[in-house]
């Protein structure tokens, strides 16, 4: 099987989205966030493309403006805010980095690595944003344009960086003995922060295991939807069983009656919760009153409330098995409790019934209130 890192990541976030994208081949409209991200990636590539002179900040800005796509935004305010944010990100990048000082080995470097054992090999592919030569080794960098920046711990275990390092090592196998000088980094352009980490042999091996497990799940066709905050950016909401009903007006297939039923069901469910809480409070008050008056029944205008004791028994499974198995009844018992046993009690000989009774022990006794109306 061939799987790209981004498809693997999609599967991890939502198996159903993976299916829509990779198996059903349904095209997903690109979100404005994704388009903004790819523009910034192109700017970074432009900034670091080796040449006689590195592009200046003004040249980088001009490149950014030429790529800008204003049509993807809903209104001029949103478009202006996004453009200014892009400008700020590039200015900040230049403030903290001098592009001329990096020793670039490769940009947007495509890779394919083999995983699995003989007879069941798979190909993992992807694109590494940037590979730099450092003083003692190399650095692999991936740019992020996300709002959220993870904790260092997440970067230490980031799967994408592990895969990228594996890909790097398959291209430069002699660097495997130099692991301590190979850096993997995520550069968060919105924050102007780069978080770096290293990898051990053990971590790299675990990466392959996670891929193989995901491939197994895909082959077994596990494609359950996974609701998460990422659904907000998913282009398949209108066909996803978890969301498509929200688009009912566009589909025009819902009748007034079903709409009313949905609303009424939600209202009734909320009313049940409110009633249950109120009943609990009233029960407490009535129990207190009965206790104080030494009464086991209280009389209202529309009925009587009486205390009732409920006993729960526990059963010794081995003893019951020893009694029922010789009579051929053991197989009929799927669960050992009073209800299940009651079903067969009447057909059992008196002696066996008596012995069964003796195996039970009182586990708990609770008091409840029963209402007799009228
Ligand atoms: S909307 Fe959410 S649950 Fe549905 S496919 Fe997309 S990510 Fe998965």
Q: For 194-250, what is each residue's pLDDT tens digit? A: 999 999 999 998 888 999 999 999 999 999 999 999 999 899 999 999 998 888 766
**DSSP 8-state assignment for residue 225:** -
For residue 31, what are the CA distances in angstroms to 36, 73, 154?
9, 10, 25
Tell me the CA distances in angstroms from 224 to 8, 250, 348, one per residue in order: 15, 25, 47
Once rounded to an integer, what is the mean pLDDT over residues 56-67?
96
Helices 76-96 and 57-67: crossing angle in degrees, nearest 10, is 150
Residue with the smallest CA separation from ligand 1 atom 4 is 240
> 158 falls in which pLDDT band (50, 70, 90)?
very high
Could you identify the atom of ligand 1 that is nearest to the CA of residue 13?
A: 7
Spacing, Cα 225 to ligand 1 middle (Å): 6
Count CA within 13 A, CB hemisphere, residue 234: 28
Structure pTM?
0.71
pLDDT for residue 358 is more than 90: no
Among 142-151, 307-316, 345-354, the range scoring the smallest mean pLDDT is 345-354
Please tell me the distance between residue 371's alpha carbon and the centre of ligand 1 in angstroms.
47
**pLDDT tens for residues 294-321?**
888 999 988 999 999 888 888 888 888 8
Q: How far is CA 264 from CA 247, 272, 274, 333, in A?
A: 20, 12, 15, 40
Which residues have C-beta atoms less than 6 Å from ligand 1? 14, 16-17, 225-227, 230-231, 234, 236-237, 240, 242-243
And the tokens for 344? Answer: 């067969």
Determine the straight-line distance between the first and last CA of the chain, rounded to whole angstroms.
Answer: 71
pLDDT of residue 344: 73
Four-residue CA torsion sign, 214, 220, 223, 226: negative
| Probe target for ligand 1 pocket from 26, 240, 244, with the most ligand atoms within 8 Å of CB | 240
């Amino acid at each position: 099987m061939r799987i790209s890192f981004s498809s693997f990541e999609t599967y991890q976030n939502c198996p159903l989205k993976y299916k829509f994208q990779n198996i059903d081949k349904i095209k997903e409209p690109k979100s404005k966030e994704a388009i903004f991200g790819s523009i910034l990636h192109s700017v970074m590539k432009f900034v670091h493309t080796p040449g006689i002179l590195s592009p200046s900040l003004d040249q980088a800005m001009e490149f950014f403006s030429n790529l800008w796509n204003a049509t993807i935004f809903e209104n001029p305010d949103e478009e202006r805010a996004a453009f200014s944010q892009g400008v700020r990100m590039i200015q900040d990048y230049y403030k903290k980095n001098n592009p001329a000082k990096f020793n670039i080995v490769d940009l947007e470097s495509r890779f394919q690595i083999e995983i699995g054992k003989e007879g069941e090999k798979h190909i993992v592919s992807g694109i590494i944003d940037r590979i730099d030569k450092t003083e003692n080794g190399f650095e692999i960098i991936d740019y992020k344009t996300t709002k959220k920046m993870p904790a260092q711990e997440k970067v230490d275990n980031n799967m994408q960086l592990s895969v990228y390092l594996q890909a790097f090592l398959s291209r430069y196998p002699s660097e495997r003995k130099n692991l301590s000088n190979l850096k993997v980094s995520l550069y968060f352009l919105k924050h102007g922060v780069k978080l770096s980490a290293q990898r051990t042999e053990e971590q790299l091996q675990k990466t392959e295991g996670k891929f193989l497990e995901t491939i197994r799940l895909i082959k077994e066709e596990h494609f359950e939807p996974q609701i998460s905050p990422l659904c907000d950016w998913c282009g398949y909401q209108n066909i996803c069983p978890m969301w498509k009903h929200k688009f009912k007006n566009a589909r025009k297939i819902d009748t007034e009656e079903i709409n009313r039923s949905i609303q009424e069901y939600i209202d009734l469910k909320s009313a049940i919760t409110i009633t249950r809480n109120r009943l609990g409070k009233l029960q407490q008050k009535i129990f207190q009153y009965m206790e104080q008056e030494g009464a086991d029944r209280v009389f209202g205008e529309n009925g009587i409330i009486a205390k009732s004791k409920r006993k729960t028994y526990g059963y010794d499974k081995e003893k019951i098995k020893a009694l029922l198995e010789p009579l051929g009844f053991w197989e009929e018992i799927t669960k050992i409790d009073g209800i299940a046993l009651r079903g067969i009690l009447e057909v059992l000989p008196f002696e066996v019934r008596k012995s069964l009774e003796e195996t039970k022990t009182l586990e708990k006794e609770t008091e409840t209130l029963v209402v007799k109306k009228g």
